[in-house]
């Protein structure tokens, strides 16, 4: 029996993979991670397709998103958003984002973050694709914007989940599932996240790396890569009292259904 995992969130277009992307993909396959979704973080109209290009070269294994990260929200002018919308219809694009609010780093002014988030939800509703939400230190306002912009019409993923079970439940009420990263494997300040991972209903749980960031234990501090999602999955299986195989099967079926990625 082959155990398959899908890494629902990685950044393979980053230059940290320029030298060895083929080895990274080979190691992923060996770890059972045959498929992955690489996330677009556009900063200018010319790079909106950077994740799509990675997927286009390997359509049997990789899908993409297009979007503007909250860190770059102040760059999301009409021209950039128009290009996101144009490429959102590409058949290799399964979701729009990552988009959202990051009030921890505040790399872009909050008002720009709110505007870019709202504009991208509107795009997703027009192209009828789910969204990938990045939220940090802004739980209430994230839920409020999702509600106000009718994001439940498309649903999607709260990625790199870093809140607690109450937030996961409120997000799920709006049609948003939780994607857990290597954070759950850390030893400090993750009780709320681990509790959420334990309690999340079967149909609403995904796993991701957010590579190159957030390597799970025992690779913490090193460059992350999709193969490592198996450590996160193993940790969550233990928290939920199920086998690794069951957790892998569950999260893979969920990713296929939520992203519309049939084999
Ligand atoms: Zn993110
Ligand atoms: Zn990301």
CA–centroid distance, residue 166 to ligand 2 (Å): 23
CA–centroid distance, residue 1 to ligand 2 (Å): 31
pLDDT (tens digit, 9 = 90+) per residue, 89-143?
999 999 999 999 999 999 999 999 999 999 999 999 999 999 999 999 999 999 9
Quick one: which of 248, 207, 231 has its CA closest to 27?
231
Round to whole Å and give the CA distance between 84 and 61. Answer: 23
pLDDT (tens digit, 9 = 90+) per residue, 13-40?
999 999 999 999 999 999 999 999 999 9
- Ligand index nearest the alpha carbon of residue 39: 2
Round to whole Å and give the CA distance between 231 and 33. Answer: 12
Round to whole Å and give the CA distance between 38 and 76. Answer: 20
Cis, bond preceding 98 (omega within 30 deg of 0): yes
Quick one: which of 176, 173, 182 has its CA closest to 135?
176
- Ligand index nearest the alpha carbon of residue 40: 2
Q: In the structure encoding, which two tokens stand for residue 176, read together?
A: 């948003």
Evaluate if pTM is beyond 0.95. Answer: yes
* pLDDT confidence tier of residue 262, bands split at 50, 70 and 90: confident
> What mean pLDDT do residues 212-219 have?
93
- As to burial, measured by CB atoms within 10 angstroms (0-12 exposed, 13-18 middle, 19+ buried), residue 137 is middle
């Amino acid at each position: 029996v082959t155990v398959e995992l899908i890494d629902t969130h990685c950044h393979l277009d980053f230059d940290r993979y320029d030298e060895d992307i083929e080895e990274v993909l080979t190691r992923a396959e060996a770890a059972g991670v045959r498929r992955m979704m690489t996330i677009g973080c556009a900063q200018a109209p010319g790079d909106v397709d950077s994740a799509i290009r990675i997927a286009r070269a390997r359509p049997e294994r990789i899908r993409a998103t297009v979007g503007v990260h909250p860190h770059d929200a102040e760059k999301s002018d009409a021209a950039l958003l128009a290009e996101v919308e144009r490429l959102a219809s590409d058949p290799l694009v399964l979701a729009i984002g990552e988009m959202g609010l990051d009030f921890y780093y505040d790399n872009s002014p909050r008002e720009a973050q709110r505007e870019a988030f709202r504009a991208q939800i509107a795009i997703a509703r027009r192209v009828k694709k789910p969204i990938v939400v990045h939220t940090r230190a802004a739980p209430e306002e994230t839920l409020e914007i999702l509600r106000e912009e009718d994001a439940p019409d498309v649903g999607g993923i709260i990625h790199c989940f870093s809140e607690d079970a109450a937030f996961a439940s409120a997000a799920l009420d709006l049609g948003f599932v939780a994607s857990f990263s290597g954070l759950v494997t850390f030893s400090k300040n993750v009780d709320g996240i681990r509790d959420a991972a334990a309690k999340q209903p079967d149909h609403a749980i995904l796993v991701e790396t957010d590579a190159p960031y957030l390597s799970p234990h025992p690779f913490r501090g090193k460059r992350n890569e999709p193969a490592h999602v198996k450590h996160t999955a193993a940790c969550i299986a233990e928290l939920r009292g199920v086998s690794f195989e069951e957790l892998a099967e569950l999260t893979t079926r969920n990713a296929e259904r939520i992203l519309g990625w049939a084999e």
